[in-house]
Amino acid sequence: MMLNSLKSKKGTNNLYLAISIMVGIILAIFLIGIAFFGLAIYFYRQHGRINRQIAQENSRIASLDSEINTLNYTFTQKIDQVSHDVQGELSAAYITRPVPADQLDQTPRLQTVATVAPAGGISGLTPSPTNAPPAAGVSRDSEIQCAFCERFFQSSLPKCPYCGALRVG
């Protein structure tokens, strides 16, 4: 009897063991499934954070691009304005050309011819028909040479009457 009883317990224990193994496997699969589900949620949230950061950086880049375009436009406007101002200051309202051959006195001279002056004219610029040497009675001692166009003008003038350059010295 005891042997039958032990055999019966062994069969029952084998059944409990098989059921426990199956339940363990199902539990392990369930726990692994939960772990994978948790990882999926974690990666989904990371993906959302990364997308938000990308959107913020794209917005920042667009803002910086707009600022660069504004600065470039302002810079271009300022450069154009300064260029126009410099050109107005340095470009004479007169151009020089050689004197016709029949008017030459053995020494070549340049004749200044009026052209269109900028609006309002150039202050302190007085036209002169020729760059001839000073007339008789006017000495070169009372004249100085312009550092820009190298013409002679009276030392009492603050600017060269030919090119408008400020007097040096």
pLDDT band at 1 (very low <50, low <70, confident <90, very high): low
94 vs 153: CA distance, rounded Å: 16
CA Rg value for the chain: 49
**What is the per-residue pLDDT for 142?**
80
More confident residue, 117 or 169: 169
DSSP line for 38-81:
HHHHHHHHHHHHHHHHHHHHHHHHHHHHHHHHHHHHHHHHHHHH
For 99-118, how does the pLDDT look when each residue is reduced to its tens digit (9 = 90+)? 555 655 544 444 444 444 44
78 vs 65: CA distance, rounded Å: 20
**What is the per-residue pLDDT for 92?**
53
Q: Is residue 3 predicted with pLDDT exceeding 80?
A: no
Query: How long is the chain?
Result: 169
89 vs 120: CA distance, rounded Å: 12
Structural domain spans, the chain:
1-90, 93-154
**What is the per-residue pLDDT for 101?**
57
Report which residue type is found at 167.
R
pLDDT band at 63 (very low <50, low <70, confident <90, very high): very high
pTM for this model (two decimals): 0.36
